[in-house]
Amino acid sequence: MSEEKKVKRKKIEATAAMNKYMTDYFYELDSASKTGYKKIAWCTSVGPSELLLSMGFLVYYPENHGALLGTSRLATDVIPAANALGYSPDICSYLTADIGAYVQGVTPLSKAFEGIESVPKPDVLIFNTNQCRDVKDWFAWYSKELNVPLLGVHTHRNPTDVTDTIIPSIAKQIEELVEPLEKISGNKFDMEKLKKVVALSRECSELWKKVLETAASRPSPLTFFDGTIHMGPAVVLRGTQQAVDYYKILLKELEERVINHEGAVEDEQHRIYWDGMPVWGRLRPHSELFANLKACVLASTYCNSWIFTDFDPEDPFTSMAKAYTELFIVRSDKTKEKYMQRMIELFKIDGIIYHDAKTCPNNSNNRYGMPQRLEQKTGIPSLTINGDLNDLRLISDEQTKTNIEAFIEQLEENKK
Ligand code: SF4
């Protein structure tokens, strides 16, 4: 399909409110980093941030910075600096982009927020290996470079069921963080504060789930590409009132769209599920490409990863352990396939795109026969596109476009 024939994509009005919350977040971190009035913890995106917030830390997420390096298309330029330190071009391109940017003294935050010159300095680094080993290696590099303590949680990988033998060991590891965090923060642990933060995270999570599930309507009021932007507060502000307030605003707008039958993509004809990471440096072209084919990519494994339905304020440690281990990325293919089947039904999916991200095997679910097994079970066709989350040298735009156009044509044929 020619690119001149643009199909309208509907803008989300709540974006302005989100930008304000995100701006305040980054300026607060910058001010704490400059003045030291609050301690700063760096945390992996699905790490125990509730505990950190309850103990008075501001929490910064290097993976979010990795994604910003991707969307600003700075990543590809800075990755070689990390390669030169011995970090292979084949490992996580969040890691290589983030460390490369640090080595080169650049950050997209400077361009986005006047007066911010660098990422905030950490007082402690906290990881959870639930998603991959790369996050531990990544934080270990900074720990050495900046002489900052490194603490973390080691999670059992690939379980089919998250059983009662797994959960206590994770809960214990999170609890054992309390003592060193008390020393670093100078604050005493307070169970009531933790319960409050977990309750806020739970509320944020429930609202985010409702936001994403509006896409089950036909036409869908939002796209996966919208979701990758609007998940920002669920990632960096969960556990705060601001995240809850924001998702109430967004949900209201999307529910109104559903009532008015307003689709995110004009004349939605094909409903697509995206599995794997977004290509951060190509969000807009990909969004336009699908919209011009009247295909709405409306649901994804990725955006759903910040739904933590297990948080229970009455049992914070155990429920945090459960929430952070029940995640899709942690689980076996058997569990993942059951999950995808539910998603296909819920969102009335016509086709699946698997993004095989070269530097993130952990989020690339096409490599061990899953597309074929799922197609056999559901009859829903799929397409694998090769690419990467951040390293644009690993992407062929022409190939991607040709393959996606052919796939949508196939879906059209299937409907006849
Ligand atoms: S899950 Fe993938 S993208 Fe995320 S930190 Fe790990 S390797 Fe990087």
Taking 70 as the threshold, does the pLDDT of residue 65 lie above it?
A: yes
266 φψ region: left (φ > 0), alpha (ψ -120 to 50), beta (else): beta
Closest CA to 38 of 108, 146, 113, 124: 124
Q: To the nearest whole number, what is the mean pLDDT of the chain? A: 96
Residue 93 CA, closest ligand 1 atom number: 8
Query: pLDDT at position 91, please?
Result: 98
pLDDT, tens digit, 9 for 90 and up, residues 182-241: 999 999 999 999 999 999 999 999 999 999 999 999 999 999 999 999 999 999 999 999
User: 390 C-alpha vs ligand 1 centroid, how far in Å?
Assistant: 11
Residue 95 CA, closest ligand 1 atom number: 8
Query: pLDDT at position 2, please?
Result: 44
**pTM of the predicted model as reported, rounded to 2 decimal places:** 0.96
Total residues found in the chain within this entry: 416
Calpha distance 9→27 (Å, rounded):
31
Query: pLDDT at position 78, please?
Result: 98
pLDDT, tens digit, 9 for 90 and up, residues 235-260: 999 999 999 999 999 999 999 999 99
In sequence order, the 6+-apart residues with CB closer than 8 A to the CB of 168 are: 318, 321
pLDDT, tens digit, 9 for 90 and up, residues 308-352: 989 999 999 999 999 999 999 999 999 999 999 999 999 999 999
User: 291 C-alpha vs ligand 1 centroid, how far in Å?
Assistant: 28
Burial (CB count within 10 angstroms: exposed 0-12, middle 13-18, buried 19+), residue 73: middle
Closest CA to 63 of 35, 108, 95: 95
Top-confidence residue, 281 or 1: 281
Closest CA to 265 of 302, 290, 301: 290
Longest Cα–Cα distance in the chain: 67
Q: For ligand 1, is residue 69 a contact (CB within 6 Å)?
A: no
Q: How confident is the model at residue 1 (pLDDT cuts 50, 70, 90)?
A: very low
Average pLDDT over residues 105-119: 97
Taking 50 as the threshold, does the pLDDT of residue 107 lie above it?
A: yes
Query: pLDDT at position 48, please?
Result: 96
Residue with CA at minimum distance from ligand 1 atom 2: 360
User: 95 C-alpha vs ligand 1 centroid, how far in Å?
Assistant: 8
Query: pLDDT at position 3, please?
Result: 47
User: 132 C-alpha vs ligand 1 centroid, how far in Å?
Assistant: 6
Residue with CA at minimum distance from ligand 1 atom 8: 92
Calpha distance 407→299 (Å, rounded):
17
Q: Report the percent of the chain where pLDDT is more than 70.
A: 98
- The residue type of 136 is K
Query: pLDDT at position 8, please?
Result: 72
Give the chain's end-to-end CA distance (angstroms, integer): 19
Bridge partner residues of 58 (DSSP): 40
